[in-house]
A and B are shown apart, each in its own frame.
Chain A
Amino acid sequence: MTTILRNVRPYGEDAVDITWSDGVITEISPAGDPREDAAGAAVIDGHGAVVLPGLVDLHTHLREPGREDAETIASGSAAAALGGFTAVHAMANTTPVADTAGVVEMVWRRGVEAGYCDVHPVGAVTVGLQGERLAELGAMADSAARVRIFSDDGVCVSDPVLMRRALEYVKAFDGVIAQHAQDPRLTEGAQMNEGALSGVLGLRGWPAVAEESIIARDVLLAEHVGSRVHICHLSTSGSVDIVRWAKARGIDVSAEVTPHHLILTEDLARTYDPLFKVNPPLRRAEDVGAVRAGLADGTIDVVATDHAPHAREDKDCEWAAGAFGMLGLETALSVVIETMVLTGALDWRGVADRMSVRPAHIARLADQGRPLAVGEPATLVVVDPEATWQVDAARSPSRSANSPFAQRDMRGRVLHTVLRGRPTVIEGVLVSEGAGA
């Protein structure tokens, strides 16, 4: 079957028509070229919008198995498709923990069944995320899920010896350890960024040094054992400096920043509304500036959502009782457009690099993050950068509603998402019959 996507602008450049067949791009020609009117071809109107390779998220919490009331693999991956993602990485902190081949294969299979995007399970580094002994990393790597990213995200691999071993061990199958950098002792009971505001609000502080000291240690460990290391949700100005220093030194480190750390600041804690409680916490405006600069100059490799759905009762409460985390899949691209594209910090090729090409490379995904070119997979997203929209929990497939962006005008709307030639979203609407392919 042949499909023609008419009138789209690859990376925001000149308008073209893109034709694909059997999931592979067969032709890219200037928009309106009559030769493409192949009989029987399906036609999708691109409305002159921007087309990018499908987005890849390195950091997603889908909550299944264990907390299907908050999110499922199907509901979360549907939200991902609406946000323009064609691949997500499901974090291991489920119940049971994704620390065995059995659990990661189950997650992988559910993702395929849902069919909205590729769901790659992340394997736990340690058994039960307990930080005591290594999980069967090799078995997860060899499983049908072909796990390449391992993380205890939610907790830090704080034991330096265990971290060293993990970094070394995954070299055997080109894996990577994604570290949740948080010194546990420095952040006991922590509720928000530590600073003048936490002192005024009387909320226990989460100091920047608790993140930065772990990153510093881990880049040195990675250098010492010759491994690569990935830093999850980097959030402070100091962390950017350390990663920049490590890269200059030739250390094989990659780092991610979340959309919310690109736009929101700690001042939201003044509301005492746990909607704005997240880990790592929202930081100061100076940190927001530093992570934007780091993302722009490539020190920070990728934007990863840390999409963290929570049931209503876990947010409808006092701050201290509230769960950490916020939704991100459907709003990530809009936040990047607002903070990076409209400010001139990144062009569309830069967006494609940080949200598709580099995350696919870090995760070693062969058929994601590919260029928009003949012979490449027709895995792409069409986004109208001019459109504005508002978050509406009632219309989202996510089972949770903890978006920090409610009532806010979001910039840039995903029109179409296509996964290996098959549309998962058309005109902003989920293609449900496409599921299960």
Chain B
Amino acid sequence: MNKHLLSAADLSRDDAVAILDTAAELSRVTDRAVKKLPTLRGRTVVNLFFEDSTRTRISFEAAAKRLSADVITFSAKGSSVSKGESLKDTALTLEAMGADAVIVRHGASGAPHRLAHSGWIDGVVVNAGDGTHEHPTQALLDAYTLRHHLAGGTGALEGRRVVIVGDVLHSRVARSNVLLLHTLGAEVTLVAPPTLMPVGVDTWPCTVSYDLDEALPGADAVMMLRVQAERMNAAYFPTSNEYSRRYGLDVRRAGLLAHDGIVLHPGPMNRGMEITAEVADGPRSVIVEQVTNGVHVRMAVLYLLLGAAEVDTAVAHEEAGE
């Protein structure tokens, strides 16, 4: 496994399955009275959030705390970050505090990559969403949720068909999901109006469609991406109504899915825009479950990355007798 988790492309199939398997074991800890594990006692995990994202921040905080790490949270609002302190100076501060892992959310694509490769810090860097680039732990929790429902909770996702719908152009979730789901053997179809498809999407490991009704029949899962109504002001689509009619998920469309097909949404949802309330709260929806799974997947990521990073020498220590 790579030292950092910056992109879903950093993960091999074995890496991804190892994370999902570890998360599955860790999920069982949630069922017992003492939910905390001592694994990362004495390690410092910093949540560095240049962009507001309460749900992702809380999810990482919960994950780190359940592993007994010391958690420090830097949020943009009210900190030196909002007073114009540079990424570099913030990083140097964290380094001085001895951060073992830095979880970074930033509005600029590539900021976590920059942090990991600039030499400013030594710790493990986990991308918690950067600009319109990637959000690999979201993809992992989506894969975990898909695997739980579609593959009996083990192995990969060979042959499963997943449709991702919405503002692909501006979506870090879509980028990471296409990469990871492809790595896990799923077949991904992206659906959006052509204006919300990135240039060069034809080179991505997925198929592309402009027609939701054509893409949905028989699919095992559909993932709806948040579409901001402001996009219509930049002429990406004419009106919210037209968007909903052509690309929104309603009960009729959800019924086109395979018999046990599920509906995902990374949140926060725009009810009435990309998804109707009936579908969001309906029997196929696994949206609330995604949140729970997020904590387990992030625990697994922290455990595996910090565990890998701290082995100084690859001494094949004899297992027997211990």
A318, B200: Cβ atoms closer than 8 Å = no
Give the CA-CA distance A283 to B88 in the complex, in Å: 28
A304-330 vs B, Cβ < 8 Å mask (1 yes, 0 no): 000000000100111111000000000
Most buried by B among A195, A199, A271, A273: A199
Set of chain B residues within 8 Å of A191, measured between Cβ atoms: 109
Set of chain B residues within 8 Å of A319, measured between Cβ atoms: 108-111, 114
Select from chain A the residue with minimum beta-carbon distance to B86.
A317
Set of chain A residues within 8 Å of B131, measured between Cβ atoms: 202-203, 320
Q: Say yes or no: A194-B109 contact (C-beta < 8 A), given A316-B86, A318-B114.
A: no
B23 to chain A, nearest CB (A): 26
Most buried by B among A191, A197, A202: A202
Give the CA-CA distance A317 to B200 in the complex, in Å: 27
B200, A199: Cβ atoms closer than 8 Å = yes
Interface assignment of B199: CB less than 8 Å from any CB of chain A: yes
Give the CA-CA distance A201 to B118 in the complex, in Å: 18
A360-374 vs B, Cβ < 8 Å mask (1 yes, 0 no): 000000000000000
B86, A202: Cβ atoms closer than 8 Å = no
Set of chain B residues within 8 Å of A200, measured between Cβ atoms: 175, 200, 204
Most buried by B among A194, A272, A320: A272
Q: Say yes or no: A201-B106 contact (C-beta < 8 A), given A196-B199, A313-B86, A317-B87.
A: no
A 181-218 contacts with B by CB, 8 A: 191, 194-205, 207
Give the CA-CA distance A302 to B88 in the complex, in Å: 38
Set of chain B residues within 8 Å of A203, measured between Cβ atoms: 109-110, 131-133
**Residues of B in contact with A, size category:** 20 to 34
Give the CA-CA distance A191 to B110 in the complex, in Å: 12
Interface assignment of B167: CB less than 8 Å from any CB of chain A: no
Which listed residue (B109, B113, B117, B204) contacts A320, Cβ 8 A?
B109
Set of chain A residues within 8 Å of B133, measured between Cβ atoms: 201-203
Give the CA-CA distance A202 to B111 in the complex, in Å: 11
Q: Say yes or no: A318-B132 contact (C-beta < 8 A), given A196-B199, A203-B109.
A: no
Set of chain B residues within 8 Å of A195, measured between Cβ atoms: 199-200
Interface assignment of B198: CB less than 8 Å from any CB of chain A: yes
Q: How many residues of A contact B (CB 8 A)?
A: 24
B200, A321: Cβ atoms closer than 8 Å = no
Q: How many A-B residue pairs have CB under 8 A?
A: 78
Interface assignment of B201: CB less than 8 Å from any CB of chain A: yes
Give the CA-CA distance A3 to B109 in the complex, in Å: 57
Which listed residue (B106, B109, B132, B200) contacts A196, Cβ 8 A?
B200
B108, A194: Cβ atoms closer than 8 Å = no
B114, A202: Cβ atoms closer than 8 Å = no
Select from chain B the residue with minimum beta-carbon distance to A193.
B199
A406 to chain B, nearest CB (A): 14
Select from chain A the residue with minimum beta-carbon distance to B132.
A202
Give the CA-CA distance A316 to B92 in the complex, in Å: 12
B134, A194: Cβ atoms closer than 8 Å = no
A273, B198: Cβ atoms closer than 8 Å = no
Give the CA-CA distance A194 to B198 in the complex, in Å: 9
B201, A321: Cβ atoms closer than 8 Å = no
A202, B175: Cβ atoms closer than 8 Å = yes
Which listed residue (B87, B108, B111, B200) contacts A198, Cβ 8 A?
B200
Set of chain B residues within 8 Å of A194, measured between Cβ atoms: 199
A282 to chain B, nearest CB (A): 15
B199, A198: Cβ atoms closer than 8 Å = yes
Which listed residue (B108, B130, B203) contacts A321, Cβ 8 A?
B108
B156 to chain A, nearest CB (A): 23
Most buried by B among A194, A195, A201, A313: A201
Give the CA-CA distance A207 to B110 in the complex, in Å: 20
Give the CA-CA distance A197 to B133 in the complex, in Å: 11
A199, B198: Cβ atoms closer than 8 Å = yes
B 150-189 contacts with A by CB, 8 A: 172, 175
Which residues of B does A touch, CB under 8 Å?
86-88, 106-111, 113-114, 117-118, 130-134, 172, 175, 198-201, 203-204
Could you list 19 examples of A-B contacts with CB < 8 Å? A198-B198, A198-B199, A199-B201, A202-B131, A202-B132, A203-B109, A203-B131, A204-B132, A272-B109, A272-B111, A272-B113, A272-B117, A313-B88, A317-B88, A318-B110, A319-B108, A319-B109, A319-B111, A321-B86
Closest 10 CB pairs of A and B: A196-B200, A202-B133, A272-B110, A199-B198, A202-B109, A320-B108, A202-B132, A318-B108, A318-B111, A199-B200
